[in-house]
Structure 1
Amino acid sequence: MVARGGGRTPEESTRRGAGPRQTWAALPWLVRTAVVWSACLVVIAAGLYLLARITLLVTPLAIALAATFFLAALLDPVQLALRRLRLPAALAALLTVLLLLGVLFGVGLLVWNMTASQFSELGDELREGLERSRDFVTSTLPVTDEQLDGLVGQLRQALSQQEVDPVASAQTVAEVFGSVLLALVLLFFLLKDGRSMWHWTLRRAGGPNREIAAKAGRVGWRTLGSYSRGTMLIAAIDAIGIGLALVLLGVPLAFPLALITFFGGFVPIIGATVAGAVAVLVALAANGPTTALLTLAAVIAVQQIEGNLLEPLVMKRQVRLHPVVILLAVTAGTLIAGIAGAFVAVPIAAVVWRVIDSVQQQRQVAASRRRWTRIIRGRTAQARARRTVRKV
């Protein structure tokens, strides 16, 4: 039967409209699951790609913001102590920033006076250590001198092909200087008005989202503060431990090596590995393989004590990340923003993970409350119905 105007009957329209749904339902569940997950992964990958592209365009700003939050979390106790002395917020923030600059300038001047003449010697020791390592490789492994020299020559040729652009170098220096200046200005305002800005943001959030955002913000800030202070303390302990071991073993340039260990401690896993390798190479060049092996044992012992004893005590459990996550975060940060990205990648990953975990926990608690509320209301309604029946 054909409807008026040459159209389809309602039954035909219903059957045609239900066709795609019936086709989808007829597919095996494994295929449907694969299609849904593939679509989700495509959307997530596209979002991450867009985020990475935007980050690359504003890399100096992103690094400045990350450094600002890192320093603010590190210096927040100092600013709060000054505020307890009834100092105005602006004066307390200014004194905190000046204290940071004074400490950095003083430590930098001290380190320069103590190590400026030794860094050239460090380069010579590293070259000699590499030569000894080369001799060890050629005498132990089935590799000839010609093959190893060919590999080294190819590496040098690849590096020499990267010409240095004076304009690009000047632009990089200007970007670094601008990022440092911007970070200091943002640090002052964040210490001065950070809490009021956060409360202003929370007032714009309505309903249950305000409580979720407030708790997630507190968790993220505590995580960043714990990470920044804990990382600095652990890096200092590693530098002192390895520096003392180098002094006891009679390895030259102990202070520059301890300084490299301290800065390497801010890049988890990779930084400690590189700093330990440099110390072993210098020990090999200066005092031979026996001292190098003892240095390697000392580096491993200090790192094991730090990882298994000090880190659980200093770092809160909520701040710790799996080594795979740390390696991925450091690699991604290095690819996006170089050395600066490697420094800030892990704290960003820790804060993001803790914020997401806090939001999920709060939503689970809210869902559980709603479920129990429905159960209690249902039981109350049943009890009222039973009382009504009894009265009747």
Structure 2
Amino acid sequence: MVADGAGRTPEGTTDRGAGPRQTWAALPWLVRSAVVWSACLVMVVAGLYLLGKIAVLLAPLAIALAATVFLTALLDPVQLALRRLRLPASLAALLTVLLLLGVLFGVGALVWNLTAGQFSELSQELTQGLRRTREFVTSTLPVSDQQLDRLLDQARQGLGQGSVDPVSGARTAAEVLGSALLALVLLFFLLKDGRSMWRWTLSRATGPNRSVTAEAGRVGWRTLGAYSRGTMMIAAIDAIGIGLALVLLRVPLAFPLALITFFGGFIPIIGATVAGAVAVLVALAAKGPVTALLVLAAVIAVQQIEGNLLEPLIMKRQVRLHPAVILVAVTAGTLVAGIAGAFVAVPITAVVWRVIDTVQQHRQPRTPAPDPR
């Protein structure tokens, strides 16, 4: 039946869906595409916002789970090497966790012995460096002391949350300790039974979705493992390179600054920039502007060598992300969950991207092979 101009069929019945369908079809294709994509974007953003709110409400559990998955991907090769020695799964997982604890406590003791009396000096050097930077800014730029003080006060108000509450501090310490213990227990079970858990999950998938899920899971896990190990190697290289430059330039507190550089390397781009700025400020306070410029040159050189030469060799091509994507991911993670969000934002983005790419490749129709006749 064909509807007339009033939206009625020849028999006189009204086709109620004809009006909206005709109106939608009459819209330009660009408008229809914009409406559909905007609706999809709103749904995705709303889902991510809801997940972020849930993660913030369950922050200790979320941090423990993120640390567990990251450490499992990092230590999985160690556990597999122990399994090749015919060790039981439980013993291999236990030895891997004990090895991690030994390394952490050993490095912590070494760092404490070398830097326990230097962090207070580091704070004083940073304060002096900031004072010299303030004098340089006010003497060379059209900024008065009052304007700079006003900007600093606004920054402190934005970062600070009032006076320190002892009860809140004790609660935070208890949450951190509980999250660490939970992460260690979950790490043991994931190293021991992670593969059997994954096989059980795949057994619940049926049809063609099973092969796609299996391939996406393998790709995501390989991406996370490559990212965790590559990031640790790159952070260590940055710390060693910048630490050697500080030692050669006789900048004090070289080891604490190298340690800050190592931890900053786990936050791509932003972490390295902040760590380099701290080293330059200390050099400015201790040795003057010439040494500070040399430290700045060394920091830039190390980061350029790492970004253009070492990172392509260490990181697989599938793991690397565009710097713009990294900046957006780190910023979003910081806004949602602070420093913890900045740590996990980039690996989550890399894994999600690789999983989506794998699923899309499986859904693309494969062209049949040409007939050899």
Instruction: Calculate the TM-score normalised by the size of structure 2.
Output: 0.92
| Aligned match of 2:4 | none
1:297 alignment counterpart: 297
**Closer/same/farther in 2, CA of residues 310 and 135 from structure 1, 3 Å limit:** same
Higher helix share: 1
| 1:237 paired residue number | 237
Q: Aligned partner of 1:135: which letter?
A: E
Q: Deviations over 1:306-348 (max 9, x none)?
A: 0000000000010001111111211222222221221111111
Amino acid at match of 1:214: A
- How far the C-alpha of 1:153 sits from its partner, in A, is 4.5
1:368 to 366, 369, 373: 366
User: Counterpart in 2 of 1:176?
Assistant: 176
Q: Matches of 1:162 and 1:71 in 2, distance apart?
A: 35
Aligned residue number for residue 248 of structure 2: 248
Deviation sequence 1:113-141 (CA, Å, 0-9, x none): 00000111101110111111111111111
Q: Which runs of 5+ in 2 are unaligned?
A: 1-7
| More divergent stretch after superposition (40-49 vs 212-221) | 40-49
Contact persistence 2:126–2:285 (CA under 8 A): yes
Q: CA deviation at 1:155?
A: 4.4
Q: 1:275 to 1:36 in 2, by over 3 A?
A: same
Deviations 1:23-60 (A, max 9, x none): 22233333333332332233223222222222222222
Q: Whole-Å Cα distance in 2 between the matches of residues 246 and 186 of structure 1? A: 40
Q: Distance in 2 between matches of 1:310 and 1:330?
A: 22
Task: Name which of structure 1's ranges 38-47 and 255-264 shifts more when overlaid on structure 2.
Answer: 38-47
1:152 is matched with: 152
Which residue of structure 2 aligns with residue 220 of structure 1? 220
- Give the AA of the match of 2:317: R
| In structure 2, distance between residues paired with 1:114 and 1:14 | 85
Q: Distance in 2 between matches of 1:63 and 1:200?
A: 25
For residues 271 and 159 of structure 1, the distance between their equivalents in structure 2, rounded to whole angstroms, comes to: 18
Between the aligned partners of 1:55 and 1:101, the Cα distance in structure 2 is: 27
Letter in 2 for 1:66: A
Deviation at 1:261, TM superposition (A): 0.4
Residue of structure 2 equivalent to 1:124: 124
Q: Which residue is 1:3 aligned to? A: none
Corresponding position of 1:38: 38
Offset, 1:363: 1.4
Q: Distance in 1 between matches of 2:250 and 2:281?
A: 14
Superposed displacement of residue 177, structure 1: 1.2
Q: Distance in 2 between matches of 1:209 and 1:329?
A: 29
Query: What displacement does 1:159 show?
Result: 5.9
- Structure-to-structure mapping, 1:1-392, within 5 angstroms: 11-156=11-156, 162-364=162-364, 367-368=365-366, 372=368
The residue matched to 2:65 in structure 1 has which SS? Answer: helix
Counterpart-to-counterpart distance in 1, 2:173 and 2:211? 43
Relative to structure 1, the CA distance from residue 128 to residue 362 in structure 2 (aligned partners, 3 Å threshold; closer, same or farther) is: same
Task: Identify if the C-alpha distance between structure 1 residues 17 and 270 changes in structure 2 by more than 3 Å, giving closer, same or farther.
Answer: closer
What is the one-letter code of the residue matched to 1:245?
Answer: A
Deviation of 1:10 (Å): 6.4
Could you tell me which residue of structure 2 aligns to residue 380 of structure 1?
Answer: none
Aligned residue pair count: 365
Q: Which amino acid aligns with 2:68?
A: T
| CA spacing shift, 1:150–1:49, aligned 2, 3 Å | closer
Distance 1:361 1:304 in 2: 34
1:24 alignment partner AA: W
Cα root mean square deviation, aligned = 2.1
CA shift, 1:167, in A, is 2.7
Change (3 A) 1:155 1:225: closer
Q: Report the TM-score when normalising by structure 1.
A: 0.88
Range that drifts further, 302-311 or 39-48 = 39-48
Residues 315, 10 of structure 1: alpha-carbon distance in 2 compared, 3 angstrom cutoff: same
Counterpart of 2:3 in structure 1 is none
Unaligned runs of 5+ in 1: 1-7, 377-392
Contact 2:9 2:15 in 1 (8 A): no
Change (3 A) 1:157 1:247: same
Q: Which moved more, 1:48-57 or 1:70-79?
A: 48-57
**Aligned letter for 1:142?**
P
CA 1:157–1:311: 2 relative to 1, 3 Å? closer
